Amino acid sequence: MPFIKIWIHLIWATKNRQPYLTKEIRTKVFSHIRDNAKEKGIHLDFINGYKEHIHILLSMHQEQSIAKIVHLLKGESSHWINENKLTKYNFNWQEEYLAASISHSAVNRVREYIKNQDEHHRIKSFTEEYKLFMEKYGFEIMGK
């Protein structure tokens, strides 16, 4: 039996970065995503976010791929949000997402970062945060 532990930090935003995720809606959506992940055998370690985006820390199993996990979590959750009419408007997640591997030694630091999203976004906008992550993980930003 193989022993595999791959930690991933996922970030994605609402379509056009609309601030649909009020505190009340976030609580419901994050709880639902956690339950859905558990049902699908996805080990979601931590989840949080802010008005227009979400952060997830998860560990992957040998048969899982990042693309499949993101597809399952984003697609099902947007359908659930619309079905339960949590927003006034049709809800969608933005197609793009960021996924970065995290070393085991950084897991607690990433958990703390995700946990403190409200506090963090009093200082930095999501756009600033996203740009920093793109640079930190060496992704090329479109248009550069």
Does residue 144 lie within any of the structural domains? Answer: no
Does residue 143 lie within any of the structural domains? Answer: no
What is the rounded distance in angstroms from the CA atom of residue 75 to the CA atom of residue 126? 22
Domain range for 66 is 6-136
Strands 43-50 and 93-102, by their bridges, are unpaired
Residue 29: C-alpha distances to residues 18, 43, 50 (Å): 15, 17, 12
Q: The domain spanning residue 14 has which CATH number?
A: 3.30.70.1290
Does residue 108 lie within any of the structural domains? Answer: yes
What is the rounded distance in angstroms from the CA atom of residue 12 to the CA atom of residue 24? 19
The better pLDDT of the pair 123, 22 is held by 22
Given pLDDT bands bounded at 50, 70 and 90, which one contains residue 115? very high
Asked whether the predicted pLDDT for residue 1 surpasses 80, the reply is: no
If one counts the domains in the chain, the total is 1
Does residue 52 lie within any of the structural domains? Answer: yes
Q: Give me the phi and psi of 140, to 5 degrees please.
A: -80, 130
pLDDT tens for each residue of 35-77 = 999 999 999 999 999 999 999 999 998 889 999 999 999 999 9
Does residue 87 lie within any of the structural domains? Answer: yes
Asked whether the predicted pLDDT for residue 144 surpasses 50, the reply is: no
> In this predicted structure, what is the pLDDT of residue 87?
94
What percentage of the chain reaches a pLDDT higher than 90? 74
Does residue 141 lie within any of the structural domains? Answer: no
Asked whether the predicted pLDDT for residue 142 surpasses 60, the reply is: no
Does residue 90 lie within any of the structural domains? Answer: yes
What is the rounded distance in angstroms from the CA atom of residue 100 to the CA atom of residue 67? 12
Does residue 18 lie within any of the structural domains? Answer: yes
